[in-house]
Structure 1
Amino acid sequence: MKGSQTFPKSHPNLTMKETEIERIIKLGRKLGWIRKRLSHILGLRISTPWGSDSFSFKLNGKHLVLSSDQAVEKVHFDFEFMTPEEVGERALRCAISDIIATATYPGFALFNISGKDSRVIEKIGDGVIACADKIGVKLIGGDISKSDIYSLSFFVGGFSSFKPISRFGAKPGYHIHITGTVGDSALALAVLKQKGRKYAEKHIPYALEKFLKPPLRTSICRIRKNIKFSADSSDGPLRTVEWICAVNGVSAEFFPERMPFSDEFLRYAPLFFRDPQSVSATWGDDYEIVFGVKESDFLSMRKFGEVIGIILSPYDVKNAKRKNYPFKKIKSFSGEDVFVFFTLRKVREFTFEHF
């Protein structure tokens, strides 16, 4: 799960000294991944470069894909709106999303949990077990501890016969797609906080279901040959595109006006948000997959996901600046400036932070 759900109704996020991308790039430099560009670890060939949703390496002819995730009470979930079983299922689904984003089927997970009441811990565990059985993930171990708040963490993995897809691989002209509707989880959370669970169940059942049980878009496994890069959109579509630009050293044009919306979001979002389009583009927790394909493939790929952007060439960047398109500037892994342009208007950004 990739973010705090302290949701401001109408205020943009506070100015940070460093963006999340800048903080993670700094960590990558400290660890030596960015400077050394390591290709092997412990004698095994690395399949996925540092900076992706997961880490993978080749083992006995297959690629082992690994990722970790956590969920913390009052940051990622609240028992006021969710049952313990729902907390468990949601946390596991969120953790698995990073594996699926590589076009790999998840296979196993380690599960750690801490909290105050053993009965609540057991119910959360029941939710995790039921979800794991449903989606075919084997729980192979973990740990239990006592703490004042409830916290879950997962270490998940899967094997692939194909090289896992990552955030890397974006080139000028590639079209950026997203697998499903956005903004639903933001709507569900706002409704739960302001109107309660019964109202949400009656009026926004689709959005509530998507919030409680994030989708696992395994359909991208069927089109892996066409996909050039991918990442889950748990941090929001815009930030996901920013990440892709940062790791590849490319710029992009982002289309917030083309975001796919559910009927519930179109009907109810204006009642809860002053700027629904910006919320849908920058708020996370929808767990759709953002993926890129060649221009020659984008029409056939639209049935798997709406086009929300395009990777730009240096000429395109100069042209966009000349036309005074609004943009957001970010730093690439190499330290160079790259840009995300907006054809119509720059969206407002809302608080959604890992830490």
Structure 2
Amino acid sequence: MTSEFTLIHRHFDRAARHSTLAVGDDAALMQPRAGMQLAVSTDMLVAGTHFFADADPRALGWKTLAVNVSDLAAMGAEPRWALLAISLPAADENWIAAFAGGLFECAGRYGVDLVGGDTTRGPLTMTVTIIGELPEGEAITRAGGRSGDDVWISGTPGLAALGLAALKGGASIAGEARERCLAALHRPQPRVALGIGLRGIASAMIDVSDGLLGDLGHILERSGAGARLELAALPLAALREAGADEALARRCLLAGGDDYELLFTAPPHVRDAVLALGQRLQLPLHRLGALDAERGALLLCEADGRCQPAARRGYDHFA
């Protein structure tokens, strides 16, 4: 039987770029660059809750790291180091090799060193602690939004939720559209370059993991604000093209999770800078509405000015 330490050495011990000492000792040794502060986040993925137990291991390896990289992107930080704790029901070498391949593919894409972690036998669970850097005082938090700020979102939100609906039999999509939705679900693309580019521009930011409305609610809570979203401004075109009707498209975009797009606020006077950044990154950025002074209120507004409170917020593990 393959030992725990053999598995670690064989599949997870890779050359490090940013670390004095990485995998193989009791602790890693890392040196932040001068003038930088650390941003640290932890996220857990559990079989049956965050992914299907029979998920493709290479895609799962990518997603395990990508969702953590996205947390740093949401702060405007550059990812540097990660630690992986993984619980495995069995030492399946082929599965582990594929999982590690996907994880290190993501690590290579975003410049992350895997510097340690732990393995044990148990239900399939992955926990990553990720550490990044950003210049002191330049972190974009959830608490900076102010009444009058624009609300923006990146990319094509809702595709991942539509892909999940298709897997569960709640949506009928096929061909290239289905593959695009499943790619969004299984291989999210953290918006690191956008997060870095929004330093000094965005007033508040979060990544969309539990649904646009729910995650915007976190910004509203921390910023002490409300928001009005314009239904006509919702970027539904890609969802419609994939075969979703209007109701399903809105539900996927507003209440679906797993997008890992960046949802951010910014003062109106920087709209040109926001749009220029999107053009430079070749990434669509959509203005959805604006914050207002009514703390916690989240309204969805028709083109004729009629508004109603948002009924659904987002995913909650314990709701």
TM normalised by structure 1 equals 0.70
The Cα of 1:200 is off from its aligned counterpart by: 5.1
Q: 1:343 to 1:180 in 2, by over 3 A?
A: same
Deviations 1:287-346 (A, max 9, x none): 100111111112442453211121113xxx4xxxxxxxxxxxxxxxxxxx6311222344
Aligned twin of 2:251: 278
Aligned twin of 2:125: 151
The Cα of 1:245 is off from its aligned counterpart by: 1.0
Q: Distance in 2 between matches of 1:106 and 1:114?
A: 24
The answer to whether the Cα contact below 8 Å between 1:67 and 1:95 also exists between their aligned partners in 2 is: yes
* Higher mean displacement: 173-182 or 202-211: 202-211
1:123 corresponds to 2:123: no
The Cα of 1:194 is off from its aligned counterpart by: 2.3
Aligned twin of 1:338: 296
Q: Distance in 1 between matches of 2:78 and 2:201?
A: 17
AA matched with 2:301: T
Q: 1:226 to 1:245 in 2, by over 3 A?
A: same
The Cα of 1:264 is off from its aligned counterpart by: 4.5
Q: How does 1:1-355 map to 2 (within 5 A)?
A: 61-80=35-54, 82-119=55-92, 120-147=95-122, 149-162=123-136, 163-194=138-169, 202-217=176-191, 218-270=193-245, 274-302=247-275, 304=278, 305-313=285-293, 317=294, 338-344=296-302, 345-349=308-312, 352-355=315-318
The Cα of 1:351 is off from its aligned counterpart by: 6.4
The Cα of 1:220 is off from its aligned counterpart by: 3.0
Runs (5+) with no aligned partner, structure 2 = 1-31, 279-284, 303-307
Q: Distance in 1 between matches of 2:72 and 2:208?
A: 13
Runs (5+) with no aligned partner, structure 1 = 1-57, 318-336
Q: Distance in 1 between matches of 2:188 and 2:53?
A: 17
Aligned twin of 2:28: none
Deviations 1:253-278 (A, max 9, x none): 123442213535444122xx854313
In the alignment of these two chains, the number of paired residues is: 271
